[in-house]
Amino acid sequence: MEGPRYASDGALRRRIYLFRHGDVSYVTPEGERVPDPRVVPLTDWGQEQAKEMGAFLASVHFDKAACSGLLRTVQTAKGILSGRDMELIEVPEMEEIRSSPDRSKMPATLAEAAYAFMIAHEPGATYRGGEAFQDFENRVLGGLNEIIAWDDWHSLALVLHGGVNRIILSWALKTGLHSFGNFEQNTCCLNIIDVDSDPDTNEVVRTLVRGFNITAYDTARQNDHLTTLEAGAAKYRNLIEKK
């Protein structure tokens, strides 16, 4: 493990390299929703994204690496960490927000699906009829507190999900669910967050967002104008129209 770094006031400064998993498809070639989105693998493009990110960060040292345990985060982490002899820890509390398996509770329109994150702050709001955003936030922050309590890292690779990353970024910026829908998280993106803690009590005293939604591909976002939820809704619509 590399030596500790300290802020000017003596706080222990640790760095989280927070990734979203690589590209996946939640829609079958027939235009149907996949039976279980929890088990979808990376696409070939997703695998390539992870390898590119690994090359992009080849000179960066990680003391520890963790993911949610869902296949897409495991595969992404292995691609990013390729060539490094590291154990990959799974933190199930960091799994993505869960929509309802009941199709009757799904959004009535594609627009509702594309902008489902915009209502996260509303009392009682759920994601596509499934998990309540407030419960999701509590779950994710519980997992994050567990990770921060680990005392054997100064630089951490954390491979998670778009919704989960939004919770962590909102926590770092102290904005809560009100800003949940205002972040974009492209596939296999990188966010960099410094967490300053009291060296005696480990209590977090400060958070700093150093980087946001950085990708090794299309870094300037020149060819990217739809959000990931908009693109997913458009893909589903196009497949339906072809039937």
Tell me: the pLDDT tens digits for 90-103?
999 999 999 888 76
The mean pLDDT of 172-193, rounded to a whole number, is 97
At 98 the pLDDT is: 93
The mean pLDDT of 184-207, rounded to a whole number, is 96
Residue 19: closest CA among 134, 198, 191, 242: 191
Helix axes 44-56, 71-80, angle to 10 degrees: 40
The mean pLDDT of 137-160, rounded to a whole number, is 97
Average pLDDT, the chain: 92
Whether the per-residue pLDDT at 224 is higher than 90: the answer is: no
Whether the per-residue pLDDT at 160 is higher than 90: the answer is: yes
More confident residue, 238 or 228: 228
Name beta bridge partners: 123: none
At 237 the pLDDT is: 63
Whether the per-residue pLDDT at 243 is higher than 60: the answer is: no
Whether the per-residue pLDDT at 219 is higher than 60: the answer is: yes
Show the tokens assigned to 158.
Answer: 């954390």
Question: Any idea how long the chain is?
Answer: 243
The mean pLDDT of 13-26, rounded to a whole number, is 96
Quick one: how far is CA 243 from the chain centroid?
Answer: 33
Separation between Cα atoms, residue 95 and residue 184, nearest integer Å: 18
At 112 the pLDDT is: 81
More confident residue, 235 or 57: 57
Residue 54: closest CA among 65, 41, 68, 70: 65
Q: What is the DSSP string of the chain?
A: -PPPEE-TTS-EEEEEEEEE-----SB-TTSPBPS-GGGPPPPHHHHHHHHHHHHHTTT---SEEEE-SSHHHHHHHHHHTTT----EEE-GGGPPP---S-GGGS-SSHHHHHTGGGGTTSTT-BSTTSSBHHHHHHHHHHHHHHHHH--S-SEEEEEE-HHHHHHHHHHHHT-GGGGGGG----TT-EEEEEEEE-TTT--EEEEEEEEEEE-SSSTT-TT--S-HHHHHHHHHHHHHHH-
Whether the per-residue pLDDT at 37 is higher than 90: the answer is: no
Asked if residues 65 and 85 have their Cβ atoms less than 8 Å apart, the reply is no
Amino acid at 206: R
At 1 the pLDDT is: 84
At 188 the pLDDT is: 98
pTM of this structure: 0.94
**CA distances (Å), 193 to each of 16, 57, 128, 177, in order?**
5, 15, 29, 18
The mean pLDDT of 208-216, rounded to a whole number, is 97
At 26 the pLDDT is: 82
Q: In CATH, which superfamily holds the domain spanning 5-242?
A: Phosphoglycerate mutase-like (3.40.50.1240)
**pLDDT by residue (tens digit) across 102-136?**
765 666 677 888 899 999 999 999 998 899 999 99
- How many CA atoms within 13 Å lie on the side-chain side of 94? 29
At 239 the pLDDT is: 52
At 238 the pLDDT is: 62
Name beta bridge partners: 193: 16, 209
Whether the per-residue pLDDT at 241 is higher than 70: the answer is: no
Whether the per-residue pLDDT at 83 is higher than 90: the answer is: yes
At 231 the pLDDT is: 85
